[in-house]
Each structure stands twice: as C-alpha cells, then as structure tokens.
Amino acid sequence: MNRNVMVAGATGLVGRTMIKILEERNFPADHLVAVASERPEGRTVSFRGKKIGVTTLPAALKEEPGIAFFSAGKDVSGTWAPLFVQAGWKVVDNSSCWRMSGDVKLVVPEINGNLLGPDDRLVANPNCSTIQMVLALAPLHNRYRLQRIVACTYQAVTGSGQKGVERILAERKAWVAGNPLPLSGSVYPCPIDLNVIPDIGALTPDGYTEEEIKMREETRKILGDAKIGVSATCVRVPVIASHCVAVNARFAEPFSLEDVCSLIKSFPGLVLNDFSAGHGFAVPLEAEGTDTVYVGRIRRDPTEENTLE
C-alpha cells in the first residue's frame, strides 16, 4: 500500500517544521507530497535525504489519498480541505478554519484523542497558545473542575511565521547599526524588537482580539465545558521561538499544592519545574525545539478561594 503524506504550506515556517518532525519520528510515509499555495515553481524541500519538488494543490489532489496536513491559512483550508476529504484523504488542519465547526473534532491527543474514530476524515488542531494552556490545566480540570481562567500570553515571533522571524532579526541588525527600520513591509503595527505588542489578530467590537477569542472558545470545546469563564490577553514578545502563558485558574473544588504537582507530573506531555532543581522555572530558550509543556511557579492565589497561579 502506498502511504502518501501531503503537507500544504510546505515552504512556510510551520510546514517546514512539520516535514522535519515527520522525518525525525520516522512517520510511516512512502511518499511526501509537498505543496505551496503560492509560487511553487522550481522550489524544493528536503525529506529523508532527498530533494522533493513542490507542487500545487490541484496536482496534489490527483495523488493517491493518504494523510494531508494543512498549514497554509484558513482560506486555503476552507476551500481545499473538503475537496481532499471528498477525494479520500484524511485531513489534519492547522488553521483556525474548522476548529469551532460542530462536526469537526478539535483535538489535543493527550486530552481528548479518545474522541477520534475511523470515520473522522477532518480533524482540527487548536491555536498554539491554547494547546499549551489546556494541556497544563486538563489534569487539574479533571480533578477539581475549572470555573474560570484568566490568562496572559507571551507569544514568540514564530507565531507570525517566517516573516515574523525575518522582521525581528532585521530590526535587531538595524538597531545595532544605528539605522532603525521603517515599518513598511512589517507584519507588525510597530517595532517588535525591544518591544511588546498586545495585538495578535484583528480587534473585535468587544475589545478582544481574534487570538484572545480563540483561546476562550477553543479551551471550552477541548475541555468539553462551555461554562468555563476564560479571559485572555495575548501579547507578542521579542522572542524567536516558544510561547509562554501566565494563568490564574479558579476551581470548584479545593486542592492542595502537593496534589496539584503530583497531577501535573503524572500527565503526559507535561514537565513540572519545581524550586528544588535549578532556578525552578523554564524559559523559552530551554523549551525551544521540544514538544514538552513546562509548568512552573505554581502557587495559591491568596485573594481568591480555590484559585491557582
């Protein structure tokens, strides 16, 4: 059986990382179909020691069906993911297009991977900051039942793709040379190097950004509880890779810090950084390139009952 794996957005930052992980984990694929939604002509990607020519979505649709990973934006996913499903592919979508669709499962494998069945042809994965936050909170929600979450994110420029990385490096180089860059051509509304920008996604009429709304709605869907109150403030910071989230979480049931730490330590995908080892917390440079969510500085909120930070 020919096992095709397609990556849409293969030349972008996330797409290239997907291909790297497929190779590192020896994913069972006989053939990689690398797709760029724009200007694929003459471009290649590396996979298992070979150069793979980049193709188009219409051409990829004619390939023998396999598993398709979409990371080319919600417009591309909205148009093409259903066509690939109809053609027999199983689709994993990394965009925001299908996350809140009632008939599409929003999956973090460690939390709700059991929801997936053989008939699921289109699966969505959540927003980047949502994933790490809910992974840390899931074992506590299972035991104590979350009531309310207040979160502030510190999101690296990789969240803006390759253009975000290129922008901060260019600004840094220009600053050292004493020649600040003009904002024209930037993916940000103001300088990002030596700065923080509390603006990720379009601003909505209620004052929240799209990113902040994603964290609220996706958290409720993944944890299966629409009553959880979620308020998020999402901030872009001058860090290349690895997002951070500060969380204040209120629960219905009382807890002990000892039990909280035990639950976190025993949950897949989490590492507890306690004060008995090193400086007691993880930083982006240490987390970069790993799949782990590092949890640290756990403390009880003295101003609210049954509340953890």
Q: Which residues are catalytic?
A: 128, 243
Helix, strand or coil, per DSSP, at residue 64: coil
Of 274, 299, 180, 283, which is closest to residue 239 (Cα–Cα)?
283
Q: Which amino acid is at 207?
A: G
232: enclosing H helix or E strand: strand 229-236
| 1 close to 16: Cβ distance less than 8 angstroms | no
- State the amino acid at position 109 in one-letter form: P
Report how far residue 164's alpha carbon sits from residue 162's, in angstroms, rounded to the nearest whole number.
Answer: 5
Query: Residue 85: how many CB atoms within 10 A of its CB?
Result: 15
Burial of 50 (0-12, 13-18, 19+ CB in 10 A): exposed
Distance from C-alpha of 294 to C-alpha of 273, rounded to nearest angstrom:
7
Distance CA 18, CA 9 (A): 10
Residue of 68, 9, 18 lying closest to 43 (CA atoms): 9
Extract the tokens encoding 140: 């506590």
